[in-house]
Amino acid sequence: MSANGKPKFAMYWAAGCGGCEIAVLNIGEKILDVDAAFDIAFWPVAMDAKVKDVQALPDGAITLTLFNGGIRNDENEHMARLLRRKSQILVAFGSCASEGCIPGLANFSDLDSLLDTVYNGVSTDNPDRIRPQYEYEAPEGTVRIPVMAPVLRTLDMVVDVDYIIPGCPPESHQIAAVIDVVLAALRGEMELPPPGAILGAGQKAVCDECERTRGIKKIKRFTRIQHMAAVDPTLCLIEQGILCNGPATRSGCHARCPTAGNACIGCYGPADGVVDVGARMMAAIASVIDSRDPAEINRILDGIVDPAGSFYRFNLAHSLLKAARPAWTAERSH
Amino acid sequence: MSDTFEPVIIGFTCNWCSYRAADLAGTARVKYPPNIRLIRLMCSGRLDPAFVLKALAEGADGVMITGCHPGECHYLVQNYRTLSRYLLLRRLVAQMGIEPERVKLVWASAAEGVHLAREITRMVEEIRALGPLDWPRRLPRPTTVPPALVPEEVPA
């Protein structure tokens, strides 16, 4: 408790895009309830605060910390450990913190080629192939920037996490609902959910919320939605030969993308009972292929241009294999 | 690769065909290397691709999926689904940097003990030639030991 008697709140942004922060601000006037109920101890996007202020707090002084972004460098890891120590409830907030999300797709390649893409890509004029150095001796002293890890890890691979709020970003109405629960628990009106719970989302798959009609699926050809002349507005997208991650993805978004005519990309993470999104998608997609001939099946599968990237778009860092071989073998050979 | 590398292969068998083929190989004293650990499923169609990924992630060097010959599935058509899943799975593991040869599909009826034993022997030698997969249990952290992050006061 702080001097004004309010519990402390923190939000931190590690390896992510910042959309989670925007989603929190997007909850509308509910943000005033957050401000009324909490003393904001640390929230670099919204207000000025220093890491040393957090370090000065006693352990467990922060009641609720929303941590968004994955763990990509040593600074992310340091902040994750610091906030874990200082927080009673640490929430992996959003897809990056809970399952790696788009930054986690870098786990397909090794760090060297990743940096090469960034600093020597087609859009970058860098003939001397200059890259930032982790340490630089300036006249004023040594300048250090955070050291990148060979792979991106999720928050729960680094510290214990109390709750997960999935989504890229979490839907604002879901955030608002979770905040209501936490506020009610603080007032003693209800119990907090059991540790490890996934908050602000459904249990079933996106298909359960999707309004499109589902029939018996027999697919002879997969295609990308942008290559289709017309998309049937009422028929299941998979039945039209479009890859849709709905069967493996957690509900909670009211099937926004399929309703709007686009395929589910899987941002709400694995549904209950799904161990690995890629595995579930492989099982689902392969079952609807209407062929018994290996050569024809392979021709149909050619329509899925990038199976691993499509299925694991949001989950690679938290999948069973976690990172492709180049990402960790380059590191091992050191 | 050292001569002592003994690959670990997880074999998924179907209750109605390949499990009995393995049984038959045993009763007929047909030898196959002990590198394969057989797990019985009711049908190859029960094989969730997650089983294969989990086996590879947790230390197996290869996975053999076995089932009834096309047209002979005890549950009519499930082995055709296995075929499609297997062909898709091979593409996905290749993208993860795993040699697709580490995942193999073999059809073996209950009478084909010799055939199954031969396929197992062949796969063990193939995986031995490929070397260990040795998938890491934990993802690596930064190699450089991070200097302690000491926040310092910066004049405004």
What gap in Å lies between CA A174 and CA A195, rounded to an integer? 18
Closest by CA to A246, choosing from A302, A204, A304, is A204
Chain A residues touching residue B52 (CB < 8 angstroms)? 279
pLDDT band at B152 (very low <50, low <70, confident <90, very high): low
Lowest-confidence segment of A8-22, A176-190, A297-311 by average pLDDT: A176-190
Across all residues in chain B, what is the average pLDDT?
A: 91
> What integer pLDDT is reported at residue A10 of this predicted model?
96
Closest by CA to A311, choosing from A329, A286, A290, is A286
What is the average pLDDT across A146-158? 94
Q: Phi first, then psi: give them for residue B15, nearest 5 degrees.
A: -55, -30
What is the token pair recorded at A250?
């957690």
Using DSSP, state whether B150 is helix, strand or coil: coil
Lowest-confidence segment of A176-190, A238-252, A292-306 by average pLDDT: A176-190
Q: What is the pLDDT of residues A45-70, one digit of tens each?
A: 988 989 999 999 999 999 999 999 99
Using the predicted structure, report yes or no on whether residue B143 has a pLDDT greater than 80.
Answer: no
> What integer pLDDT is reported at residue A4 of this predicted model?
75
What gap in Å lies between CA A259 and CA A97, rounded to an integer? 27
> What integer pLDDT is reported at residue A207 of this predicted model?
95
Using the predicted structure, report yes or no on whether residue B153 has a pLDDT greater than 80.
Answer: no
What is the average pLDDT across A130-134? 88
Using the predicted structure, report yes or no on whether residue A333 has a pLDDT greater than 60.
Answer: no
Give yes or no for B108 touching A (CB within 8 A): no
Using CA coordinates, name the residue in chain A closest to B91.
A307
> What integer pLDDT is reported at residue B149 of this predicted model?
56
User: What region does A153 belong to: left with phi over 0, alpha with psi -120 to 50, or beta?
Assistant: beta
What gap in Å lies between CA A16 and CA A100, rounded to an integer? 9
> What integer pLDDT is reported at residue A266 of this predicted model?
95
Share of chain A above pLDDT 90, in %: 75
What gap in Å lies between CA A193 and CA A201, rounded to an integer? 13
pLDDT band at B148 (very low <50, low <70, confident <90, very high): low
The alpha carbon of residue A291 is apart from the nearest alpha carbon of chain B, in Å, by 8
CB contact under 8 A, B141 and A308: no
Please list the residues that pair with A235 across neighbouring strands. A213
What is the token pair recorded at A108?
């397909």
pLDDT band at A220 (very low <50, low <70, confident <90, very high): very high
Using the predicted structure, report yes or no on whether residue A2 has a pLDDT greater than 80.
Answer: no
Using the predicted structure, report yes or no on whether residue B79 has a pLDDT greater than 70.
Answer: yes
- Sign of the alpha-carbon dihedral angle for A241, A247, A250, A251: positive
What gap in Å lies between CA B108 and CA B69, rounded to an integer? 6
What gap in Å lies between CA A252 and CA A256, rounded to an integer? 9
- Determine which helix (DSSP H) or strand (DSSP E) holds B105, and give its type and residue range: strand B103-107
In contact, A241 and A303? CB cutoff 8 Å: yes
What gap in Å lies between CA B139 and CA B151, rounded to an integer? 28
What is the average pLDDT across B53-80? 95
Using CA coordinates, name the residue in chain A closest to B99.
A325
Alpha carbon A180 to its chain's center? 23
> What integer pLDDT is reported at residue B58 of this predicted model?
94
> What integer pLDDT is reported at residue B4 of this predicted model?
84
The residue among B60 and B143 whose pLDDT is bigger is: B60
Using the predicted structure, report yes or no on whether residue B128 has a pLDDT greater than 80.
Answer: yes
Chain B residues touching residue A294 (CB < 8 angstroms)? 83, 87
Give yes or no for A323 touching B (CB within 8 A): yes
Using CA coordinates, name the residue in chain B closest to A51.
B151
> What integer pLDDT is reported at residue B59 of this predicted model?
93
What gap in Å lies between CA A283 and CA A247, rounded to an integer? 10
In contact, B64 and B107? CB cutoff 8 Å: no
What is the average pLDDT across A288-296? 95
3-state DSSP of chain A: CCCCCCCEEEEEECECCCHHHHHHHCCCCHHHHHHHHCEEEECCCCCCCCHHHHHHCCCCCEEEEEEECEEEEHHHHHHHHHHHHHEEEEEEEHHHHHHCCHHHHHHHCCHHHHHHHHHHCCCCCCCCCCCCCCEEEECCEEEECCCEEEEEECHHHCCCCCEEECCCCCCHHHHHHHHHHHHHHHCCCCCCCCCCCECCCCCCEHHHHCCCECCCCCECCCECHHHCCCCCCCECCHHHCECCCHHHEECCCCCHHHHCCCCCCCCCCECCCCCCHHHHHHHHHHHCECCCCHHHHHHHHCCCCCHHHHHCCCCHHHCCCCCCHHHHHHHHCC
What is the average pLDDT across A142-161? 93
What is the average pLDDT across B9-28? 96
What is the average pLDDT across A298-323? 96
Please name the residues between 155 and 194 in chain A that touch chain B, using a CB distance below 8 Å.
157
pLDDT band at A183 (very low <50, low <70, confident <90, very high): confident
